[in-house]
Every structure is written in structure tokens, then in C-alpha cells.
Amino acid sequence: MKSSARRLTTPQDALIAAAALVGGGLMILADGYVKWADAWLPSLALRCVPLAGLCAAMLLRRTAPLTGLAVATPFNFVDVAMGPSIATLMIYGDALYAASLYGRRRTAEWLLGVTIAATLAVTVAVGLLLGGVSVAVLLGAVAGITWVAPVLTAMAVREHRFRAEAERQRAEQVARLAELDRRAAVGAERARMARELHDVVANHLSAVALHSSAVLKVRDLDRETLERSLEVIRENSVQGLAEMRRMIGLLRDGDGDGDAGGADPPAQPRLSELGRLVARTSRDDLSARLQIVGRPPELPAAVELAAYRIVQEALTNALKHAGPGRADVTVEYGRPGLTIDVLSPLGADGARLPGTGSGLIGMRERATLLGGRFDAGPWPGPDGSRWRVRAELPVDPVAEKETT
């Protein structure tokens, strides 16, 4: 025996059928039915037979509406032949309503055509048999109310439910899309914060770690070299702290208007400060040089910040991984946009500090978000193999026109 066996009826339909049986019985006892002729007066017990059949059919109004209508139809014809009551007409109308509402959509359309045809047939037949237009119209109206009106009502309710379900599904879809947008926005914000934290903290701390390691490893440093290393450590510490405060102000206020103390946060780094950035990027065996090609235009803030961070991260990677020699930084301002080229010697003895690869990911993300291109990898230059970082950042033509 299957656990999912289909039920014969529902508690609601059983209650409706019982109420219809009681109401119809009271109607019969009160002589609330039509008498076609005095010579044809069925007994009360006989009149209860079609009533009981119609009420039994109501048990199937939700579980098997078409079967219920098929059961109710012959009992309805018998009741009409005896002389219908208001109760039995309402019960059969409910059978038509249930079949149109809970059955298939095509069933309702088919029942509408059948009931309209039956109503017209009853009207014409009564008019021809009795020869009275008024009686024919009256009986036709009763037939229309009994047969056609329930089908039309069920079709209207069905359409309303269909639209309500469509609206519910649309609302769920909108909610799902909103949740996906929210997750995407949160993911994008987390990625942006990860890039900023990496650039702000990791770059400055890497420089501090490199120079402090050099001071600790070399025992007999001269005073000038020691002071230069300490100056680099101090400058990177101060710069890192200032940029961290700027980020804290942005995260706390959301708009960067100021920090908790009311002071203006430090300004975002600009490309005009690249000279100082390149100057403090050095090791005992590694130096850096900056070359500017073209006339620097007024760049959008997003492009300027991304370009500065890419150069900063490329130089930090050079400090950690490059071999002895010189890192060349070229910033070229052209009509398509801004091009950054950082060449550093390949290290033969491995990295001085461990890396996670997040720096390359962050640089690539910055370039991609602006619609630019990014490449990083070994490059066979004229003076030997080097590591090349190249980024092309487009500049909005509108911004260029505004500055000309």
C-alpha cells in the first residue's frame, strides 16, 4: 500500500456536503421546490434521492472535480424532472464551479460553451413548448444563473489566482536577484578592502621588514647607511599609519568626510608623489629610477589611485624578489590612456620575504576594473632576463576634453 494514496475527499468538502444535505432537506420539508403539475407530486423520500446524490458528488469537488460533476449531472436532471428546489440548483452550480476552478483550464472553457448552449436550448425549447416568451426568458435566466454564472465565476477566480501566483513568483525572483546583487556588492566591497589593506599595510610593512632585516644581519654598518635605513623604516611606518587612518575614516563614515576627531583624512596618493615613492625604494644592492613620458593630464581619481598602487606594489615585489641591479619605472601618458612599465632584475637566490601572490591579483583586479590590461612575467631584455610588470589604464575621453 502506498503511503501517498490519494484521498477521497477533504475535511472542508465533507463539511460543505453535510451542510448542503441539511439545508436541502430543510428546503424540501418547507416545500421549497417547483411543482410542474398537480398530477405529478413525488414523495418527500423520492425527492431526497437526487439531493443525496448531489451532496455525495460534493465530496469530490477538490479531489476529483470532473468525476464529481459527472456524478452530479444525472441526479440534477432527475431533480429538475421532479421539480427543482433552490438548494439543488445551488449544489449543482457548485459542482460546475468546482470543475471549472479545480480542473484543467481547457475544461473551464469547454464547460462555458456547453452551459451557454444548454441555456439557449432550454430557453428556445420552453418558448416553443409553452408558447410564452416571458416564461421562456424567465426559465432561461434561471438556467443561465445556475449553469453559466458558476463557470464564469470560476474562470474569474482562476485568472485572479493565476495572476497572484505570477506576482508571487515575480516577487520571489526580484528578491532573489536583490539578494544576488547584495552578495555581489558585498563581495566587490570585500575585494576592494582586501586590495586597499594589502597595498596600505603589506607594502609599507614589507619595506620596514626588508630594511630592518638588513640592519640586523649586517653587524658593522656605518652611521650613514644605518641612518638611511632607519629613515626608510620611519617614513614607511608614518606613511602606512597615515593611510591606515584614512581607510579607517572611510570605513567609519562611509563617505570619507572625516574621521572621529573631526580632522580631514589624509589625501589619496597621487602620481605626482611617485618620485618620492621610487626614491625610498632601495636596498643595498638594488636601486630604482623613474621616467615620465608625455605630459601628465588631469586624471580621474580612480585611475590615479590605481596607477599609484600598481607602481607601489610592483616596487614592493621588486624589493622582496628582485636580484641586484636597478628597477626601472616608466609612466607614459598617451592619448589612449596611461601605461605603466616596471622592469626589475630577476632574483637568482629566491625571495627575501615570502609572498602569497595576492599582490599580482590585486594589480590585475585594479586594471580590469577600469577596463584596462595587465601583464606580469619574465621579459628578455637587452641586459638580461628581467621581470616585467605592465599595466594599461584607459582614461575617460570626457575627462580629457574637460582638461583641454
**Four-point Cα dihedral 135, 141, 147, 148, nearest 10:** 150
pLDDT given at position 112: 92
The model's pTM: 0.51
pLDDT (0 to 100) of residue 359: 78
pLDDT at 265: 47
Question: Is the Cα dihedral 291, 294, 297, 300 positive or negative?
Answer: negative
User: Which pLDDT belongs to residue 192?
Assistant: 74
**What's the pLDDT at 100?**
92
Res 396: pLDDT:
67
Write down the pLDDT at residue 114. Answer: 92
How far does CA 345 lie from the centroid of its chain? 47
Residue 262 pLDDT: 47
Q: pLDDT truncated to tens, each residue of the chain (404 aa)? A: 444 456 788 999 999 999 999 999 998 888 888 877 666 788 888 889 999 999 999 999 999 999 999 999 999 888 888 888 888 989 999 999 999 999 888 889 999 999 999 889 888 888 888 777 888 888 888 888 989 999 999 999 999 999 999 999 999 999 999 898 888 888 887 777 777 776 666 667 777 777 777 677 776 767 777 777 777 777 777 777 777 777 777 666 654 444 444 444 445 678 888 888 888 777 777 888 999 998 888 888 888 888 998 998 888 888 888 888 889 999 998 877 889 999 988 876 544 545 556 778 888 888 988 889 999 988 887 666 788 999 999 986 444 444 34
Determine the pLDDT at residue 243: 73
pLDDT at 168: 92
The predicted structure's pLDDT at residue 143: 87
Residue 250's pLDDT is 65
Contact 204, 237 (CB under 8 A): yes
Instruction: Tell me the chain's radius of gyration from C-alpha atoms.
Output: 44
